Amino acid sequence: MINNPKRVLVLMSDTGGGHRAAAEAIIAAAHERYPGQLEFTMVDVFRHYSPFPFKYSPEIYPLWVNYGARLWGWTYIMSDAPFRSRFVIGSSYFYWRRGIRRLFEEHPSDLILCVHSLFPRPVLRVLQEKMRRPPFITVVTDLVWPHAFWYEKLIDRCLVPTEPAYERGLAYGLKPEQLRLTGLPVHPNFIKRLTSKTEARQQLGIDENLATVLVVSGGEGMGPLYRIASEINRKKLKNLQLLIIAGRNHKLRERLEATDWNQPTTIFGFVDFMPLLMAASDMIVTKAGPATIMESCTAGLPIIISGAIPGQEIGNVEYVVKNEAGVLARGPKAVANTVESWLNEHPEELQRRAANAQKLARPNAVWDIVSEIYEHAQHDSVALPRRQPVLRRLMEYLLP
């Protein structure tokens, strides 16, 4: 029985599903490996500790990336440099700091774990006001081209998912001892629930002999999923079956269920058995979200990427294509043509892509991450240098 577990404050926000998914994977693994020794508090910083309009970021983000993708991409690229990123965050720092101070008053901790790119710099600057602060770890949830926001020089440990993300950290000024390549955390239950293709298809009650295509579009079911499925349907391919996940989009699910399908097709809403669906499938159609890509690689599932958020997900596409784990097919017709092409080629080609995808997987990532968290949680708080005059601190904040 552990009387005094170490308190870990997890900073995240529901701007995209990857931040919460990473946090939940880490927390589940930590409870399994270090039962009773780590106590986690997960906080959506935007929603609960940020002023208007930042507090509405979880609602604004999906609208922005879906309906203003070009503007999002331009904003991402223009701010992605050490000086510009510091200026962007610094310009709103004094607007944020009251809420961040309240965050630490309400949630004292022995370690701070951050899984969102926008929080390291303002949070660490508020902590600089104190004589001592808890150790600070970031787990980067962007796969290949993480934004400069992630690489705050004051962090104690930055855990990155890929070699390109590691090299990017060095280029943005972090020291090698601050960085560690761990991989992207995949929930431990995901790996445990993967099974054989035959067993998965039996559990789902689908044909065991047909090639199976899994079509997904995130938990909210946004994007051109219906058009993609319709284009595949128009091909009238007799050697496949479709598994389509509409997520929480009830109108999309109703529309899909009302469609006359030319091949066996099963429609799902929001699911909590993705490992079973991936194990049953021969290929997946998805946008270039990092969590889905890494889960697909863990399942050894070749990937047809139907689209990517400009800026942060473009590198994900290059990563998958360069390693021959999948292809980019822009637009529903291109996706349908790729599905047809893959089904008509020699089976060894699909097996080769599946093997390449599995090479990119890091199934131990979540365990390596929780080991880092446990180790740093045992450390003493970090002593801070004597505070400088306000003007000097402001210039240090804004400038590299």
Which residues contact residue 205 at a Cβ distance below 8 angstroms, ignoring those fewer than 6 apart?
none
Beta strands in 72-223 (DSSP E): 111-114, 132-133, 136-139, 157-160, 179-181, 211-215
Give me 2's structure tokens: 């552990």
pLDDT at 151: 95
Q: Please compute, for residue 117, the number of CA atoms within 13 A of its CA located in the half-sphere on the CB side.
A: 23
Give me 166's structure tokens: 């590691």
Angle (CA) 371-25-105 rounded to 5° is 80
181 φ/ψ angles, rounded to the nearest 5 degrees: -85, 110
Give me 363's structure tokens: 């199934």
Beta strands in 101-153 (DSSP E): 111-114, 132-133, 136-139
DSSP assignment letter at 386: P
Per-position pLDDT tens, the chain of length 400: 456 899 999 999 998 768 999 999 999 999 999 999 999 999 999 999 998 888 888 888 878 877 788 888 888 888 888 878 877 877 777 788 899 999 999 999 999 999 999 999 999 988 988 888 999 999 999 999 999 999 999 999 999 999 999 999 999 999 999 999 999 999 999 999 999 999 999 999 999 999 999 999 875 656 789 999 999 999 999 899 999 999 888 999 999 999 999 999 999 998 999 999 999 999 999 999 999 999 999 999 999 999 888 888 999 999 999 999 999 999 999 999 999 999 999 989 999 999 999 999 999 999 999 999 999 999 888 887 755 555 555 555 555 4
Q: Which residue has the tokens 């390549």?
A: 181
DSSP string for residues in 171-187:
HTT--GGGEEE------
The domains spanning 6-186+363-398 and 189-360 adopt the same CATH topology: yes
- Fold topology of 6-186+363-398: Rossmann fold (3.40.50)
pLDDT at 311: 84
Among residues 285, 248, 244, 291, the alpha carbon closest in space to that of 270 is found at 248
pLDDT at 400: 47
**Could you tell me if residue 136 is left (phi over 0), alpha (psi between -120 and 50 degrees) or otherwise beta?**
beta
Paired with 213 in beta bridges are 242, 283
Distance CA 70, CA 258 (A): 33
Which residues contact residue 120 at a Cβ distance below 8 angstroms, ignoring those fewer than 6 apart?
114, 136, 138, 149, 150, 152, 154, 155
Q: Which residue has the tokens 């070009």?
A: 70
> What one-letter code names the amino acid at 358?
Q
DSSP string for residues in 335-348:
HHHHHHHHHHS-HH
Query: Where along the chain do its domains lie?
Result: 6-186+363-398, 189-360
The three-class DSSP label of residue 367 is helix
The three-class DSSP label of residue 57 is helix
pTM: 0.90
The three-class DSSP label of residue 9 is strand
A 10 A CB-CB count for 43 gives 18
Among residues 253, 211, 258, 252, the alpha carbon closest in space to that of 235 is found at 211
E strand or H helix that includes residue 255:
helix 250-257
pLDDT at 67: 78
pLDDT at 219: 59
pLDDT at 69: 81
Task: Please state the separation of Cα 174 from the chain's center in Å.
Answer: 22
Strands 179-181 and 157-160, bridge-based pairing? parallel
CATH homologous superfamily of 189-360? Glycogen Phosphorylase B; (3.40.50.2000)
Q: Is 398 exposed, middle or buried (0-12, 13-18, 19+ CB in 10 A)?
A: middle
